[in-house]
Amino acid sequence: MTEANDRPLEDERSFVGVPDGFDRLWTPHRMAYVTGERPSDEAGEGCPFCVAPDKDDAEGLVVHRGETCFVVMNLFPYNAGHVLVCPYRHVSLYVDLTDEETAEFTALTKAAIRALQASSNPHGFNLGMNQGAVAGAGVAAHLHQHVIPRWGGDMNFLPIVAQTKALPILLEDARAALVAAWPDAQA
């Protein structure tokens, strides 16, 4: 095959391994979203929020364990330090929590904010629950509240043009900082 000026075209295989000037952020864990794989709606092994408390804290990314609820790092964070407050019990809606669970759910949300303030000094927070898949819940069957620290200028063009987040800290390091700053740890 030739170009319009009758020069032969180069074989695309000749470019394999040739630097192209682009940096790449490899995120193979995101393929679950690309392929449409979703966690199970069933309690137990298919639910990440049922499984996390069964692991040791570091492996399960658990920040704090309460009596009826726990705090865990988000495996797919919107921002560095993004945590989730979850009941141990596999329920899908906020209104399904018992009064005891609701009180601890709220107390752990407040404690997570305090720990994030102490460990990373964010300028603000996003708090929220997406109840049901249609509302945006990735794990709709197990209630969880997002606590997302925010800083001025923390978003850039990467999410828009590359559907990629640049996180300046590893999950393990963010978890360790939060554990050390957890309000109970200082008492």
Instruction: Tell me how many degrees the CA angle 80-83-86 measures, rounded to the nearest 5.
Output: 170
Say what the pLDDT of residue 54 is.
Answer: 96
For every residue of 93-152, DSSP letters joined together read: SGGGS-HHHHHHHHHHHHHHHHHHHHHH--SEEEEE---SGGGT-SSTTS--EEEEEE-T
pLDDT tens-digit profile, the chain (187 residues): 555 567 667 776 666 666 666 666 566 655 665 666 656 667 777 899 999 999 999 999 999 999 999 999 998 888 899 999 999 999 999 999 999 999 999 999 999 999 999 999 999 999 999 998 888 888 899 999 999 999 987 776 555 556 667 777 888 889 999 999 999 765 4
Return the active site residues.
144
> What pLDDT score was predicted for residue 46?
81
User: What is the distance between the alpha carbons of residues 91 and 93, in angstroms, rounded to a whole number?
Assistant: 6
Q: Which residue has the tokens 């000749």?
A: 14
Q: What is the model's pLDDT at position 31?
A: 63
83 - beta bridge partners? 73, 147
pLDDT for 83 equals 97
* Helix 99-120 and helix 171-181, axial crossing angle in degrees, nearest 10: 100
- CA–CA gap between residue 104 and residue 179 (Å, rounded): 18
Question: What pLDDT shows up at residue 187?
Answer: 45
| Tokens matching residue 39 | 């966690």
Among 185, 55, 176, 72, residue whose Cα is nearest residue 120 = 176
**pLDDT for the residue 170:** 85
- Going from the N-terminus, what domains does the chain have, and what CATH number goes with each? 39-186 (3.30.428.10)
